[in-house]
């Protein structure tokens, strides 16, 4: 007995396509790249910070005579609201000076102190300019008192200036 052949399936004709001739890119021509689209709500990545060049030992020797130097500026809120904490704050600043000097005996340390108060206080700042006489700076810090203050903002920016 002979098997019956399955009926043939109809064959669809292939779609006609247009041939497009592409030109080869010129070697010197820059490639055009479409900018990437960011998804809605996507955060932009932060660029890494630019770091300043650290001077080499030779440059350091030329700039400061070979000595390692540190200028340390200490700021303290000296308004009346600090009265209960002022002594502990002054002790901490003195400890910072001692620790920096003890941990870095070859370092030439100069320290200045800025005690700031409210913007409209008559006596806004207690200042001692940079000095390498660390004992004198600590004595000055010890004599600073908490006073003034009130309703106006502390002059932190003035202290930095």
Measured in whole angstroms, the distance separating CA 43 from the mean position of its chain's CA atoms is 20
Q: Say if domain 57-160 classifies as CATH 3.40.50.11540.
A: no
pLDDT for the residue numbered 135: 95
pTM confidence score: 0.56
Cβ atoms of 102 and 63 within 8 Å: the answer is: no
Average pLDDT on 1-23 reads: 55
Count other Cβ atoms within 10 Å, centred on residue 62: 11
Residues in the chain: 161
pLDDT tens readout for residues 57-109: 555 545 555 568 999 999 998 888 888 899 999 999 999 999 999 999 999 99
Domain spans of the chain, in order of start = 57-160
């Amino acid at each position: 007995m002979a098997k019956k052949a399955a009926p043939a399936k109809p064959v669809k004709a292939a779609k006609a396509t247009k041939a497009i001739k592409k030109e080869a890119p010129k070697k010197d021509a820059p490639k055009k790249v479409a900018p990437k689209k960011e998804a809605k709500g996507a955060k932009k990545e932060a660029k890494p910070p630019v770091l300043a060049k650290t001077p080499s030992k030779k440059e350091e020797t030329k700039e400061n005579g070979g000595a390692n130097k540190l200028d340390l500026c200490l700021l303290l809120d000296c308004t009346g609201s600090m009265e209960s904490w002022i002594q502990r704050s002054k002790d901490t600043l003195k400890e910072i000076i001692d620790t920096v000097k003890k941990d870095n005996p070859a370092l030439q340390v100069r320290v200045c102190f800025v005690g700031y108060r409210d913007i409209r206080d008559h006596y806004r700042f207690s200042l001692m300019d940079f000095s390498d006489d660390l004992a004198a700076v600590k004595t000055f810090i010890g004599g600073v008192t908490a006073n003034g203050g009130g309703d106006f903002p502390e002059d932190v920016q003035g202290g930095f200036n």
